[in-house]
Structure 1
Amino acid sequence: MSARRPFRWHIVVFLAPAVLIYTAIMILPLFGTLNLSLMAREGGERVFVGLRNFGVLFGDPRWSASFWNALGNNAWFFLVHMLVQNPIGVALAALLSSPRLRMAAFYRTAIFIPTILSFVVVGFVWKLILSPIWGIAPGMLDAVGLRWLFAPWLGREETALTTLALISVWQFVGIPMMLIYAALLSIPDEVIEAAEMDGITGWSQFWKIKLPLILPAIGIISVLTFVGNFNAFDLIYVSQGALAGPNGATDILGTFLYRTFFGFQLQLGDPHMGATIATAMFGIILVGVCLYLFAIQTRLRRYQF
């Protein structure tokens, strides 16, 4: 009879601090938010109302109009990042991974630096740059003969959200660039040498050999982009305020949640409806991540292997 293996207490000791901290700042607040979304205050008392708050959020015109507007803006904010930030990140990584490029380390650092800047700094600086009164953007365009292109982009309903999305792209394009760059460096040298022996070089080598091998990394970046953009709040709040003007054109789920939960100006805070919005955001993110894990990631693994 084989001896019973002793329990490895050192594993518990090492994992316990991380598990306790994660539970305290993530798991317990999550269940607290879910519980709060199922309650309402009636007659000065908190009572259980089930899913009634969700019915109000999705069905009551006073709430649903703002919610669907914020959700649509969030979807566009995410789409701009997917169509602009991630392709640019892949292209920059491909360029910077070339052994023939000089000063590649300097370029990588310069592109990555904005990601470590505070949202407050980025939002305030870009608001100053794009200001039609004291900003430097009109003068810079005028210097190259393109003054006619300038417009108060942050003040127009049709351009404000896209402008903020592009500012966010400028700030965070370094993250997908570095992740894809690391994935490109992990490709075995034997694969590259075999491709060169077959006459596949340059961009043809990237499209036919390297890109299929880094598809899992691109998938992970897409998920991170989705989660990050549907949790966005700081840049919109700093640049456009809690009302997310002009006329709610830049209102996303984060700013809608903030106004609802804490209140703003004449709007009183409602923690229960705020928790309902937060729960809806959690559900949207959960569905998106599960869709990737069980649909897209499975196909990527089959394609890779």
Structure 2
Amino acid sequence: MIPYEYKKIQGILLLDKPKGITSNDVVKKIKSIFFLNKVGHTGSLDPIATGMLPICIGRATKLSQFLLNSDKVYEVEACFGVSTSTYDSDGIIICKRIVNFTHDQFLNSLNKFNGKIYQLPPMYSAIKYNGIPLYKYARKGLTVFRKFRKVNIRKILFLKKNKNFIFLKIHCSKGTYIRTIVHDLGEYLGCGAHVVSLRRLKVSSYSSSNLISLDFLKKPINNTDVYINNIREKLIKLLLPSNSIVSFLPEVNLSYNQSLKLKYGQSINYISNHNQGLVRLTEGNKKNFFGIAIYNIKGFLIPKCIIDITV
């Protein structure tokens, strides 16, 4: 039997995703290693990509939307002169062209991809059309209608160049396809391009210095209660608090009686100088985080997402 304290495990694991597996594969491995059911990632990385993949554990999965909607920072290596079916090196080469742009022309072209732009998602993506992921159509050689998506490229920096291989650092909003930026950049320069390697350096305010490798987590599976408890103790030490996901929200500290009502789904009157909108809820002198509420114009706190139901 799993002790009660292990059922309450929650938090964020900053995983360094290895190349060659999907984000869903990572989730399955985490579930298997730590014998947990409630695990989810917060924004897919392509199999070719490595780097930061925040994994939500337990009730922290309720807050995953805040990381899904946050900014990301990537470092990408692109090969110019070669276009592929998937916009990366996992795809089939469909075209080779001569590269003849100058360094200044390249730097000027980056300005076309700074700021708010519209992207056409690649056919090899998980976006669904009529309930079916686009990549399933693409594998059959089909191209279906896709809507352009508005994204915000906050900064795109040239890092270095080695022959036809160019390295970039990109800070972007949610929903941005780095593969599409590279592909469109190659088309704009008239030579084509594709992603060779991609690494995610940052999600929201999380630093890559806290990344944990999958190999570090792996251990031989042994279904004894002692082993399960020990491996969960290891996980607890690695987790960042759920509170860190929404640390940017203003804090509202409540008494036990006030928090109890919110935990039971009731709204409470709360006089404050906070602006209306989302707030982070803490309880008592220890300021234990227990959820998110909406502070409305009438001065009421309305529970939106309660992750700690301890009463």
Task: Mark the structure with the bigger radius of gyration.
Answer: 1
- Which structure shows the bigger proportion of residues in helix conformation? 1
Answer 1 or 2: which has greater strand percent.
2
TM-score by length of 2: 0.24
Larger RCO, structure (CA 8 Å, separation 6 or more): 1
